[in-house]
Structure 1
Amino acid sequence: MSRYRHQLPQLQGHTLITDGGLETTLVFHEGLDLPEFAAYTLLESDSGRHILQDYFDRYTGIARHYQRGFVLESVTWRANPDWCARIGHSPEDMHRINREAIEFLQPLRDKYDSPATPYVISGCIGPRHDAYAPELIMSAAEAETYHWPQIKTLAGTDADCVTAMTLTNVNEATGIARAAQKAGIPVVISFTVETDGCLPTGETLDEAITQVDQATGAGPAYYMINCAHPTHFGEQLAASRQRHRIRGLRANASKCSHAELDGCEQLDQGNPQELGQEYQHLLALLPHISVLGGCCGTDHRHIEQICCQSAGLRQVS
């Protein structure tokens, strides 16, 4: 059964870390060919599971060193109906994959979880369409219907929450939040932004958070920012009136725009130490921050620097 579904540690005074850019690490560092960028396909073989185990072991080692809890994010960012179908998996396969992805994380949680260092299991949800190209936008009702099968399945596992990553628009975020409310599982909404700090659809972070909260009765447990560099959104955060709702950061290593990253054939790993320093500056703007990790181009070196540079990671309420 889930341990923290009714009392998420990241809302109860704990600052947790999480992993970096899973898919970019697997493709560019491990040399893997992930169909449609879907890391969940590694669950289908013993060798793939071994790779994932080694991946998570690197991060849990950092968490133990810094005596921090951890958010174990499932490898299901692509495990929704359309992406599964592109890869050749049926709806039945999709449900099985999501269940197995949570089951894969349970031994890690059982091994390291403690009152001082809680390990939260999160079911990761990705956007229906290309995260860098939001031309096709569903209505909130369509998004709720589309994401419901995956969210319902994850809610039936031992996951403590679901986290929707790399969302580009308010409608999809609203639909996901409503589906999670219906399924009875806490939901985290993580938006991505362009170099101007706004969503790809043009809304500011404040506008997007306000609209989703109004449409869902403040349904999300909290919000995050992912798949953007700190220099892209720092100024917006400085002027934000919704900073208290943002509790998680998973930044890119690169300062490039989404369009530039989409066209890159080599990985831009940025500077881990510099990224750690930028996180330290952001902590001053985000007094309620409680989850720190990385996104595209980041790996365990970046997370190590984030922990090192902000060794005074605060316990917040």
Structure 2
Amino acid sequence: MPKYRNKLPQLGNREFLTDGGLETWMVFQEGLDLPAFAAFTLLNSKKGRAALDRYMMNFGRIAVRHQLGFIMDTPTWRASSRWADDLGVSVQDLKEIHKQAIMYLLSLREWLETDTSPFVLNGVLGPQDDGYNPRHLMTVSEARGYHAQQIDWFFEFATDMVSAITMTYVEEALGIALAAKQRGMPSVISFTLETDGHLPSGQSLGDAIRQVDLETGEAPAYYMINCAHPDHFVDVLKGRGHWVQRIGGVRANASRLSHEELDNAEELDDGNPEELASQYLELRRLLPQATVLGGCCGTDHRHIGAIAVTCNCCHAH
């Protein structure tokens, strides 16, 4: 049975950490090949599983050490049917991959979770197309049908929630939110932003959040921002309306580079962990509802460790 599906503890006043940039860590730090940036392929080998184990255990221990909650993400950002087809993975194998990923995280939760550090099991959905610059834009109906497959698996294998990570345009986000609502799954929509603080589609963040809320009856539990540096979006959060209060988490990039520059980078830009953590203090001031703090591209245990310290500073005040 899902442990927290009926009452997500991050909706209270307790801070939660996430992991960092899973894919960039595996490629640049572990030297592993991730075809199509598909982290679920790590489950296919002992070497991949060992790397995943090291990675997730270390983040979990940071949360426990600082008495913070932890959002445990499945490595399924690229585990939807379009990408599986590209990688020659059958539907049956893809479902088994989801089961394995969830069973792995359940065992990790049993091993590490404490009364002061709840671990929430989060089923991750990624974009059907490119995470920065999609060529094919789905309608709401198409997105709802496409993502329902993974949402059904997450429901069946008892994750607590689902999160759509790196959403680039509103129709795909709407489809996911509606499919999750129909399935009775708590959902989170996380938009990615360009250097001007807008979605890659050109829509403003506020308009995107307002549209999803309006057309789904405020179905998402909350919204997030990911795969952008705080410098790219801090200004759009200042002095805004109700939609800002719907943002419950941030997973920023370590790098100030644009999406296009990151796409073409041959070396990892891991920024400055302490500087990034200090920027999270400002984000927490602007986003009083944001209890979920973590990282995206280029971030690792150093960044999340530094953010954990700032979390505790915030909590103390």
1:114 to partner: Cα distance: 3.5
1:236 aligns with 2:236: yes
* Aligned residue in 1 for 2:305: 304
The answer to whether residue 65 in structure 2 is matched with residue 65 in structure 1 is yes
SS for the counterpart of 1:266 is coil
C-alpha displacement of 1:47 = 2.4
**1:168-179 matches, cutoff 5 A:** 168-179=168-179
Determine what percentage of the aligned residue pairs are the same residue: 50
Cα drift, residue 203 of structure 1: 1.2
Secondary structure of residue in 2 paired with 1:178: helix
1:187 aligns with 2:187: yes
Aligned equivalents of 2:311, 2:150: Cα separation in 1? 35
- 2:167 matched residue in structure 1: 167
2:265 match: 264
RMSD: 1.3
* SS of the residue 1:188 aligns to: strand
CA–CA distance in 2 between the matches of 1:310 and 1:149?
Answer: 36
2:251 corresponds to which residue? 250
CA distance in 1, matches of 2:240, 2:101: 36
- Structure 2, unmatched stretches of 5+, are none
Match of 1:283? 284
Q: Describe the superposition over 1:92-119 as per-residue Cα deviations: whole angstroms up to 9, x where unpaired.
A: 1111111211111001111232343210
Query: Structure 2-normalised TM-score?
Result: 0.97
Aligned to 1:56: 56
Q: Label 1:147 to 1:157 Cα distance change in 2 as closer, same or farther (>3 A).
A: same
Ranges in structure 1 where 5+ consecutive residues have no aligned partner: none
Aligned length: 316
8 Å contact kept, 1:127–1:165:
yes
- Name the CA distance, whole Å, in 1 between partners of 2:187 and 2:315: 23
Aligned residue for 2:211, secondary structure, equals helix
Counterpart residue number, 2:213: 213
For 1:138-179, what per-residue CA distance to the aligned partner results, in whole angstroms no more than 9, with x for missing partners? 110010011111111111112000011000011000000011
- SS class of match (1:83): helix
CA distance, structure 2, for counterparts of residue 7 and residue 308 of structure 1: 26
Report Cα offsets for 1:20-71 as digits up to 9, x if no partner: 0000000000000111111111111222211111111111121122111100
Given that 1:75 and 1:124 are in contact with CA atoms closer than 8 Å, whether structure 2 keeps it comes out as: yes
Amino acid at match of 1:128: Q
Q: Which moved more, 1:131-140 or 1:204-213?
A: 131-140
Contact 1:15/1:313, CA 8 A, preserved across alignment: no
SS of residue in 2 equivalent to 1:162: strand
Verify the 8 A CA contact 2:15 2:311 in the aligned structure 1.
Answer: no
Partner of 2:80: 80
**8 Å contact 1:198–1:205 — kept in the other structure?**
yes
TM-score by length of 1: 0.97
Q: Distance in 2 between matches of 1:209 and 1:307?
A: 27
